[in-house]
Each structure stands twice: as C-alpha cells, then as structure tokens.
C-alpha cells in the first residue's frame, strides 16, 4: 500500500472537491431560488435526518477502509453488509420523522419520501470506504458524478416541474444512483473475493468502536432538529443552512489529507504528515479569507432574503477551519494506531487505544455544543427574539467551541510524533490572504453589481473571485519555495497525464 501517493491523491481530491463545490452551489441556487425559506428549512431537516444514520453506517465502512488498506479481502462482505443495514434503517427513519412532522404537516409526504435516500446513502459510504483503502483518488470521481447529475435533475424536478422539496429529493436520489455506479466500477476488483461472514461477525462484535466514534456526528447534527423544535420555526434553519452551504467551502480543503489516512495505515512515515499539513494550510487559510469577503455576494446569489446572514457565514467559516484542523490531527492519530492489526486484540486493548480516546474527545465536544446550544436557546426564548438573532447565537457557540478542541488535538499529535507547527509558512499564507482580501475591498465594487437577475450578477462575482485567487497564488509563488515546488509538481503531473493520453 506504499504505492499511495499522498500529495498526488490529495491534490486530485482537492480539485474535484472544489469542482463539486461549484456544481453543488449551482444545485443549491436552483433549490434556494425556487423554494421559499420555510421549504428550504424543511429540505435541510430531511438532510439532517438522513445524516443521523451515519452513526450506524461506519460499522461496515470503518473496518473496510482499515482492512483493505492492509491488504485484506473484505470488499464483498462490506458491500452486502451495507445493503442489509441500509434497507433495515428505513423503518427507523420513518419512526424518527414522526417527531418533526407535526411542525410542518404540510410537508409530511416529502419527509416520508426522504426515506429513499437512506439505503443509497449507506451503500455509497461503504463503497467510498472500500475505494479509500486502495484508490483514494477514485472516491472523488463518485463525488463529482453525484454533483453533476444533481444539476440537470434539479432543473427538471425543482425548476421546470416545480416539485419543490419532492423534486430535490428525487434529484438527490438519482444522483446517488449515478455515484454508486462510478464507485462500483472502481471498487469491483475488491468485490471479487468471496463473502466471508466471519469478517461481518467480527465487525459486529467490535461495532462499538465505529459507533462510538461516529456518535459525535449524530449528536452534532441534532442541532437542526432541536433548533426547529425549541424555536418552533424552520426559518432559522434556512438561514443557518444557507450560510453553512457557503462556509462549508473551507472544509473542502481537508480533502488534501484524504490519502494520508490509508498511507499511515500502510506504514507511511511522519515526513508525509508534515508535508501534507503544510499543503493543507496553503489551501485552508485563503479559503477562509475568500468565504469571508464573498459572504455577502454568496448569500445574495442564493437568495437576496438571506443577505442578512453574512456575519453567520463568517463565524461558520472560522468554525470550518478549526474543524478541518481537528479532523486532520485526529486522522493522523487514528492512522498511526495499530492495535486493531494485532491478532486476537481484546476490547480492553481497544479501549486504551487512540481508536477509543479520539472519539471520546469528539463526543465531549459535540455534547458540550448541543447542551450549551439548548440552554442558550431556552433562555433566549423567554424574550422576543428574531430568527436571525437565534441563528447568530447558534453560530457563535459552534465557532467558539471548535477552537480549544482543535488546539488540543494538535497538542496530542505533537506528543505522539515529531511534528512542528510551520509558523514561517503560516505567516506567508496569512499575508497572502490579507492581500487577496484587500484586493477584493478595492476592486469588488467595479465588478459585483447587486442586480435582481442572477445571470447579470454571477459573471461579476466569478471574475472577482478569479482576481482574488490569482493574487494569492501569485504572491505565494513569489515568496514561498514550497508553493513553487507544489505548482511545479502539479504542472508535471498534468504533462504526464497529457503524454499518456497521446
């Protein structure tokens, strides 16, 4: 598994991730421009409800990635196991829908239809886990397929047929089907082995590890459901989701580290960690700056009604940055852990390992977040509070709590391996980001015109975006050797790909 190229796979992942951001924004534009804010809030609730099943999904994909990266034949067992769990989760989804259907009875049928997303979601995540273990870059082809298919079907079902939430669900389902086909194609060589029930029984026996590890995600995503129940409004959820759709762009920088995890599982060295972390910062820092300065234009593009939420975008983008840092550090720590590769490892050994300790930290983080959010909302609810004020409090809580946990994860990495914070590189990337933000301030009024027509508005935004990106790349290229090496390696890869085609 030493054939995994961390930088190459990471760059492919990042490029495809950014392209998926663009296509994802197009789909979001279709939805937000066609749906009323209340309808968009319900659509966000459907997404959250499907996401709750992430707690059970890693029972299969978690072990599939780790064991395939180490050369074990578990592909077919993983696939059939995920199909079983996916179909079996539909009744649970329908049961959970009962808790929110009373809030929006007029959208009850759409909430029920969302059940079709559960099994395809399960199988998709498992195939992703399989591909991540042997071809990390292949997972991005599935992501790109998913995003590209959503656009035409979104136009058909949401824009032209005016099916609203139902149309968005159908478009997403068909996009998942396309993604599954691509993922299956790249995973098929790992699906040729026989089904081995002993693997599945062993995963079920040790299922508490991935379940415990994924509990933090489920706890965290309860925020949407609890917010709508406590405030009695889905409008705030719409503001939050619209802001998050822009701020989440920062999180895509984490794709640079996609191949690091399987590389570490296959005995990659610490040199890969330091190099990859610098690459991660090179993209993550300017993305924060870009999201901050484009928060207003981004929200206006989604729907002028969301423009009042620009501060929320800023807070969520900063939260996304610290989330990426935490996720990267946690990935390093669990990738270096080898206890599960030992023969006849015991539950006691697993509890003492990083596979248990790291999820404990993330669970504490998520639990604190939910408890504090609920307390603040309950206290604020005693007075007349606007939806946007509720959402501002929501964003502040999530941002503030993300900082100490990211710092702590970094300390754990430094205590585990030889790892140093690249202060010199960080200062260069921060300076380059300040320059791009300054250029935006000086030039944006010439290119960005807040017109009613989205077709008149977007070209100026895109041109301004290119100016800002080029200013950052140009500045860092001039002052940073690592940037020149990175860009040179990218050009060499492109030349190699082009020569192979010829």
pLDDT value at position 61? 82
Low-confidence ranges of the chain (pLDDT < 70): 1-18, 53-55, 99-105, 137, 258-263, 265-271, 340-347, 381-385, 452, 490, 492-502
pLDDT value at position 54? 63
The full 3-state SS of 152-185, as one line of letters, equals HHHHHHHHHCCCHHHHHHHHHHHHHHHHHHHHHH
Helix, strand, coil shares of the chain, percent, nearest 5, are: 85, 0, 15
- The encoded tokens of residue 319 equal 């939260």
pLDDT value at position 320? 94
pLDDT value at position 42? 78
Task: Give me the phi and psi of 356, to 5 degrees please.
Answer: -105, -40
- What SS3 class is residue 4? coil
pLDDT value at position 494? 56
Task: Give me the phi and psi of 72, to 5 degrees please.
Answer: -90, 150
Contact of 320 with 400, CB cutoff 8 Å = no
């Amino acid at each position: 598994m030493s054939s995994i190229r961390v930088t190459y796979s990471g760059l492919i992942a990042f490029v495809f991730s950014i392209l998926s951001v663009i296509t994802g924004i197009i789909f979001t534009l279709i939805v937000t421009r066609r749906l009323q804010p209340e309808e968009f809030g319900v659509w966000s609730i459907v997404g959250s409800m499907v996401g709750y099943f992430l707690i059970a999904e890693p029972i299969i994909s978690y072990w599939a990635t780790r064991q395939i990266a180490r050369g074990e034949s578990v592909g077919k067992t993983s696939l059939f196991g995920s199909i079983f769990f996916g179909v079996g989760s539909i009744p649970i989804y329908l049961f959970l829908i009962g808790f929110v259907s009373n809030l929006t009875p007029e959208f009850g049928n759409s909430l029920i239809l969302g059940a079709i997303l559960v099994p395809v979601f399960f199988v998709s995540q498992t195939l992703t886990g399989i591909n991540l273990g042997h071809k990390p870059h292949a997972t991005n082809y599935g992501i790109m397929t998913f995003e590209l298919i959503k656009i035409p079907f979104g136009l058909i079902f949401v824009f032209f047929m005016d099916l609203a939430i139902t149309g968005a669900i159908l478009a997403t389902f068909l996009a998942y089907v396309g993604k599954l086909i691509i993922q299956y194609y790249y995973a098929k060589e790992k699906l040729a082995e026989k089904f081995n029930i002993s693997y599945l029984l062993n995963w079920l026996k040790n299922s508490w590890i991935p379940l415990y590890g994924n509990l933090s995600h489920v706890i965290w995503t309860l925020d949407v459901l609890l917010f709508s129940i406590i405030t009695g409004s889905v409008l705030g959820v719409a503001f939050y989701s619209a802001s998050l759709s822009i701020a989440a762009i920062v999180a895509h920088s984490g794709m640079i580290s996609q191949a690091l995890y399987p590389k570490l599982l296959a005995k990659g060295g610490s040199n890969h960690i330091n190099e990859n972390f610098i690459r991660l910062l090179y993209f993550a820092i300017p993305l924060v700056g870009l999201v901050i300065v484009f928060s207003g234009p981004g929200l206006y593009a989604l729907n002028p009604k969301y423009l009042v939420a620009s501060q929320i975008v800023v807070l969520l983008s900063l939260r996304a940055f610290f989330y990426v840092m935490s996720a990267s550090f946690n990935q390093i720590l669990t990738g270096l852990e080898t206890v599960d590769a030992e023969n006849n490892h015991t539950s006691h050994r697993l509890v003492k390992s990083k596979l248990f300790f790291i999820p404990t930290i993330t669970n504490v983080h998520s639990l604190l977040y939910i408890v504090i959010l609920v307390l603040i909302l309950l206290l604020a609810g005693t007075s007349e509070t606007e939806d946007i004020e509720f959402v501002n409090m929501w964003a502040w809580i999530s941002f503030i709590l993300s900082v100490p946990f990211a710092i702590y994860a970094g300390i754990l990495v430094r205590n585990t391996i030889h790892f140093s914070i690249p202060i010199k590189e960080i200062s260069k990337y921060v300076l380059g980001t300040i320059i791009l933000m300054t250029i935006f301030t000086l030039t944006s009024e010439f290119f960005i015109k807040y017109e009613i027509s989205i077709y008149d508005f977007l070209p100026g935004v895109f041109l301004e975006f290119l100016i800002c990106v080029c200013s950052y790349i140009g500045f860092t290229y001039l002052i940073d050797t690592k940037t020149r090496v990175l860009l040179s390696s990218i050009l060499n890869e492109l030349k190699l790909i082009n020569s192979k085609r010829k």
